[in-house]
Structure formats: structure tokens, C-alpha cells
Amino acid sequence: MIQWQDKTRFRVGETAFRCYDWMFGSQPSTPDEYFLQKDADMVRDYARLAAEISPQQIFELGIWQGGSCVFFNELCRPKKLVAVELNEERIVALDTYRATSAQGRTLTPLYGIDQADSATLAEILQTEFGDTPLDLVIDDASHFVDETRTSFNLLFPRLRPGGAYVIEDWAWAHDPVDDPAGAVNLYPEKEPLTRLVFELVLAAGSTHDLIRHIEVDSHKVTVYRGERAIDSGSFNVSDLCLPRGQALLATSVDTRP
């Protein structure tokens, strides 16, 4: 259960956290206080999601300061949580948590892992989870279309029916930040992650039993797994929309120069 100390600080059990706020920006995690690059509304949303699906097998893409995977590990109390990170530098506060907390033994961080490396991710899945389905996937990694889609195509089929796949920060190309022109200048060479969100919505309409439903807010998109069996070796969400959906995607605006 989350116990709020003020508008940005809270505890889950004995572990202290601080969430993101525009006033103080990002902070490093310490063993005394783990930092999340998520605001208070996102923390509350995740608490509701955890209560809804009770995830016991969790896969997280992106570690950053380590606060997020510690948060999910404490909030959900899973049997296993595996988190991967492109950066090869270990997070000292996260190592401390794993060494000093009983719950920390269920958390496995892996560094130097590219979310677009399907072969390595598949090997990690087999090694860490075997044939056990995932309950929850959180993608807070690159936020780029191809990389995010590659991870989704591999991991979504591994979710159990009713499990949830969360893609964070999908709206980075549309957020005005402090300057109305700021978002336009963010990653100008990259296609907005919005394209993948469109693909997911179209796939939900075209398949019915593949995606149970989708929730979209300004921070994230949450995709709930349907009942249909999926061949993980050939699954590609981009191929699921019907011709009229494909026509919409073909005519959507690409903001790359």
C-alpha cells in the first residue's frame, strides 16, 4: 500500500520513494530514497493497475535510476521481476536494495541490453521465465517506434490473457513542455511513437480477441491482452490492421525532415 508523505514523496512498506515533479526535475536514486521518472498521477495509476491484475511475473524495459523497478517490486510483491537497461553502468542504489531487502531477491536487473535485440530478449525470457506467462510489461526505454515495436512484437504474445503491456511517454512528439515549439524539436529525425499507438488501436479494431482493450492518457498507453493464442515467432502488430486502417497509416503525417 502506498503511503504519501507529501505531493512527491511516498513509501511502500519500509521503502521510500520520490516521484517526478517539474519543480525539482530528475534526481539520482539513493538507498534512502528511490527516484521515479513518473509523476504522482502515474504512481496512482500503477497502484490501480496492480490491484486490478495482481502481476506476479513482470518484465520491465528501462532501468534508468532504478526507482521504477524497486517501486514495482515493492508494490506488486511479484515472484519475479526482470528489468533490462541499454546503459551498461550499474545503479549502486539498486544493488544496495537487492542486497539488503528480502523482496530484493525477486528482482533481476540486466545491463547492456538493447530492447531492439529480439534474440537476446528471447534468451532472457527463456532463462528467467521459462514457459511461465508474463502478467505485466512496462516499456520505459527508448520511446522510438522501431525499437518499441520490436519489443512489443516479442513480449506481447508472452502475456497471459488479461495481462497488461504499458508503453510510457508515447506523446513526446506532442508535449509542448515549456516552449510550444519544444516538442517539435525533440528528436527531429525520429518518427513520433504515435504511429505505434495508431497501429495498436487499429489492431484492436481488426482482431477483437487479440487486444481486449486499450487505455490511452497523456503519459502512457496500456494494452490488455485478449484470449487469442499468438504465434510469438511471426507476430507483428503492424500487419494486423485491415486495408482502410493501412490507408490511414499511409496518409498520416510524418514529421521527420
The domain spanning residue 120 has which CATH number?
3.40.50.150
* 48 in any annotated domain: no
Q: Is the pLDDT of residue 253 over 60?
A: no
* 156 in any annotated domain: yes
pLDDT band at 189 (very low <50, low <70, confident <90, very high): confident
Q: Is the pLDDT of residue 204 over 50?
A: yes
Three-state secondary structure readout of the chain: CEEECCCCEEEECCEEEEECCCCCCCCCCECCEEEECCCHHHHHHHHHHHHHHCCCEEEEECCCCCHHHHHHHHHHCCCEEEEEECCCCCCHHHHHHHHHCCHHHHEEEEECCCCCCHHHHHHHHHHHHCCCCEEEEEECCCCCHHHHHHHHHHHHHHEEEEEEEEEECCCCCCCCCCCCCCHHHCCCCCCCCHHHHHHHHHHHHHHCCCEEEEEECCCEEEEEECCCCCCCCCCCHHHCCCHHHHHHHHHCCCCCC
Q: What domain range includes position 196?
A: 56-63+76-86+96-251
Average pLDDT value for the chain: 92
Reported as a single tens digit per residue, the pLDDT across 94-135 is: 999 999 999 999 999 999 999 999 999 999 999 999 999 999
* 9 in any annotated domain: no
| Total domains, the chain | 1
The percentage of the chain sitting over the pLDDT mark of 90, rounded to a whole number, equals 76
Reported as a single tens digit per residue, the pLDDT across 46-93 is: 999 999 999 999 999 999 999 999 999 999 999 999 999 999 999 999
* 12 in any annotated domain: no
* 35 in any annotated domain: no
* 112 in any annotated domain: yes
* 183 in any annotated domain: yes
Average pLDDT on 189-212 reads: 91
* 6 in any annotated domain: no
